[in-house]
Structure 1
Amino acid sequence: MNRHNNLIGNRQRYGLLAALALVSLTPSLTLAACPNPGQWWQEEQPLTNSDLLSTAAQQQVVLLGEQHDEIAHHRWQLHTLAGLHALRDDMVIGLEMLPRSAQPALDAWVADELDVATLLEQTQWDETWGFDSALYMPILEFARMAQIPLIALNITPDLRQRLVNDGWSSVPAEERHTISPPKPASAAYRLRLTEVFNQHAMGDAPDALEHFIQAQLTWDTAMAQRLAEATEGGALAVGLMGLGHVTYNEGVAYQLNALGVNDTVSLLPWQMSDCTLPDPTLADAVYILADD
């Protein structure tokens, strides 16, 4: 139980808190007419589903952000995945939730060789991710029904810690899945991550902030490299991941660009409150959800 709690604590420290805080720091704008739930918005203008999805389907990578424990976000992801797959038969779905060691189990799941309990056991879902698997099962069931490959995007916490603490050169390429060192964070991303760090008790050691930033960059680049690999055969790679890896195109999209993958679109759900939309640069488009 203690090991499980530590893993969840590390995930929250470097993932969920960062995602929530990044969004809480997001500037917003009040509109004269409120957007309606079910609409896509881009640059302060509504878009039709057909326009948005047809554009997204022509990219190499689509990033769908989420707040991990928000069921409405996962419903939106499922509907968006279905819309994209209607336009692109050659599509794969990438999951932040699982490390590369889970890939055989994902392959067996899509091949209809595992039941739900065995999938969760073989991927060590509770220990690895910790958020309720029921939030994700409709997406996983859709992938199996439609025979869409699922790919594990992440790396283990142990490997991430080695890369951050010991340095990339100290970890042999084959032990880090040949992942390249990340491109240094932009000034804006460093500032945003620093604000997140300062908002939460993440340690007061002199190098704690730098470790936090490097952990986030390691996470970003690991997922970016796996998505880039998935596009090599021409498939559309759709990545499901926390908001903090998607916002402002400073996380995974930034690392994808460094890897030569330039045709990327970032999409986020947005729950309306007081008739406001986020800063238009938060994502390439946002989908309006009803305010709970």
Structure 2
Amino acid sequence: MNRSSSRVPVLLGFLFCLALLAGCAAKQTHKPLGVTFVPTDGEFIARDGSRLSLGQVMALAADADYVLIGEGHKNPCDHTVQQQIAWALAQGPRPPAIGLEMVAADRQGVLDAFNQGRLGVDDLSGRLDWDERWGYPFELFEPLFHLAKDKHLPVAALNAPPEIVRKVAREGLDSLTDEEQGMIPAYIIRQPAEQEAFLKEVMLGHEGKDAKDPEQVDRFFLVQSLWDTQMAARAVWMRREYRRPVLIIAGAGHVDFGWGIAQRLNVLDRGAAVVSLTPWRGVENFEPGVADAFFYCPNIYTSRMGMTLVEGQGGVTVSEVRRGSRADTAGLRPGDVLEAFQGKRMRSLMDLHKAGQRAHKDDAPLVLTVRRDGEAVRIDLGRLGQGGTK
């Protein structure tokens, strides 16, 4: 047998293997391409998943009557991005008025005094009862007020008074007095049918809520509709009062999919141009229909125990530990990846939240299992209220 003929079986075998590999590759299924690049914190993303520049975002918003920016109220990255957008809009030919979910309409007088220069930024937190009424750190929102002051952008309150919202949640709209009725829209625009499954999921995250109780579900839906109708109605008032486009800052749940504020704007100000931007966390699948554009900001949680956690595609990672804190003493270290909490696998910060609620209810120690250098490490943070808080 010559050399060439001896190679035939080897060659045939090689080609057969290639055919098998090709067949396997053909059978593999890949999820659809979402985001086309690996974003860094604060980068903008188009609906087709490609990278956007700030200039392109401004071009998208150039002719908008309303620009909605969704946020996670405690996420520093979200606040940095919204301040960047507000600054860019302020430099443009149509500087906006700024509408805030964080302030209720019965405190508009305080904001009027601020708009007129009679109050400074340092006065606002106390005069607005910020800590009692809103609760999230004023420092995250403070740069937005400084921008408004420096660029002479009017600021207005969007939300309903919290006392009225709580009363509606307990007893319904019929329980309100005439005076209270006058502080909210006369007609509440109810939620679209496609939003109801999402709202029920949100409801399940509230302790004591029963998503199988029709009365509780309807009351929960009513409160969400009250918020969204109120904020849209106030934004429409702002556009007419200040004769400017309106930049609306609100929780992402009021912005995503156009179900919340935007849906009410389409009813109350027909024909107005509405543009929405919302954070994409990089954990959930990228859904182009959520907003007109996105900005990448991972979920971040800073605990008073002294640890900062970041949620990403690889799970929940410890990004920072404060020296001398409860987390430090317990042995938690930057780079640790959280795998389990209270013995249950943990995939998200919501899993951590739910497990923490159970531990608090059971008066049990907070026990984490983390992955460090390829090994599982047990971290006992003790019971809530003993040497620290959650």
Report if TM-score (shorter chain) is over 0.5.
yes
Secondary structure of 2:46's match? strand
Is 2:234 the counterpart of 1:226? yes
What are the superposed Cα offsets for residues 52-88 of structure 1, whole Å, 9 maximum, x if unpaired?
2122131111101100001110010000011112224
Aligned counterpart, 2:157: 152
Q: Is contact 1:41–1:288 with CA below 8 Å preserved after alignment? A: no
Question: For 1:1-292, what aligned pairs fall within 5 Å after superposition?
Answer: 30-31=33-34, 33-37=36-40, 38-163=43-168, 165-167=171-173, 171-172=177-178, 175-177=181-183, 179-204=185-210, 206-232=214-240, 234-261=243-270, 262-272=272-282, 278-289=286-297
What are the superposed Cα offsets for residues 9-56 of structure 1, whole Å, 9 maximum, x if unpaired?
xxxxxxxxxxxxxxxxxxx96548424332332233333322321221
Secondary structure of 1:114's match? coil
Structure 1 residue runs of 5 or longer lacking an equivalent are: 1-27
Give percent identity, aligned residues only: 27
Letter of the 2:163 partner, please give it: D
Q: Is contact 1:43–1:285 with CA below 8 Å preserved after alignment? A: no
What are the superposed Cα offsets for residues 95-150 of structure 1, whole Å, 9 maximum, x if unpaired?
00011122121122233322444321211111110111001001111111111000
Aligned counterpart, 1:9: none
Q: Is contact 1:111–1:144 with CA below 8 Å preserved after alignment? A: no
Q: Is contact 1:67–1:73 with CA below 8 Å preserved after alignment? A: yes
Q: Is contact 2:36–2:50 with CA below 8 Å preserved after alignment? A: no
Q: Is contact 1:173–1:179 with CA below 8 Å preserved after alignment? A: no
Aligned counterpart, 2:307: none
Between Structure 1 and Structure 2, the one with more helix by share is 1
Distance apart, 1:187 and its partner CA: 1.3
How has the CA–CA distance of structure 1 residues 87 and 61 changed in structure 2, closer, same or farther, with 3 Å as cutoff?
Answer: same
Point out the structure with max Rg over C-alpha. 2
How has the CA–CA distance of structure 1 residues 219 and 91 changed in structure 2, closer, same or farther, with 3 Å as cutoff?
Answer: same
Distance apart, 1:283 and its partner CA: 0.9
Structure 2 residue runs of 5 or longer lacking an equivalent are: 1-30, 300-309, 311-390
Q: Is contact 1:109–1:115 with CA below 8 Å preserved after alignment? A: yes
Q: Structure 2: how far apart are the matches of 1:84 and 1:168?
A: 41
Secondary structure of 1:182's match? coil
**Deviation larger for 233-242 or 92-101:** 233-242
Q: Is contact 1:40–1:49 with CA below 8 Å preserved after alignment? A: no
Q: Per chain length, whose mean CA-contact separation is higher, i.e. which structure has more relative contact order (CA < 8 Å, sep 6+)?
A: 1
Distance apart, 1:201 and its partner CA: 2.6
Q: Structure 1: how far apart are the matches of 2:155 and 2:35?
A: 42
Q: Structure 1: how far apart are the matches of 2:131 and 2:219?
A: 25
Q: Is contact 1:153–1:226 with CA below 8 Å preserved after alignment? A: yes
RMSD: 2.6
TM-score (normalised: structure 1): 0.81
Distance apart, 1:290 and its partner CA: 6.8
**Deviation larger for 162-171 or 73-82:** 162-171
Q: Structure 1: how far apart are the matches of 2:144 and 2:234?
A: 19
Q: Is contact 1:224–1:252 with CA below 8 Å preserved after alignment? A: yes
What are the superposed Cα offsets for residues 172-227 of structure 1, whole Å, 9 maximum, x if unpaired?
38843361322221111112101222344343465111111110110000000000
Q: Is contact 2:64–2:273 with CA below 8 Å preserved after alignment? A: yes
How has the CA–CA distance of structure 1 residues 168 and 77 changed in structure 2, closer, same or farther, with 3 Å as cutoff?
Answer: farther
Q: Is contact 2:37–2:50 with CA below 8 Å preserved after alignment? A: no
Q: Is contact 1:64–1:267 with CA below 8 Å preserved after alignment? A: yes
How has the CA–CA distance of structure 1 residues 112 and 163 changed in structure 2, closer, same or farther, with 3 Å as cutoff?
Answer: same
Q: Structure 2: how far apart are the matches of 1:32 and 1:260?
A: 33
Q: Is contact 1:29–1:279 with CA below 8 Å preserved after alignment? A: no
Q: Structure 2: how far apart are the matches of 1:174 and 1:162?
A: 10
Q: Structure 2: how far apart are the matches of 1:77 and 1:195?
A: 27
Aligned counterpart, 1:6: none
Secondary structure of 1:232's match? helix
Letter of the 1:87 partner, please give it: G
Letter of the 1:177 partner, please give it: M
How has the CA–CA distance of structure 1 residues 42 and 229 changed in structure 2, closer, same or farther, with 3 Å as cutoff?
Answer: same
Q: Structure 1: how far apart are the matches of 2:260 and 2:86?
A: 21
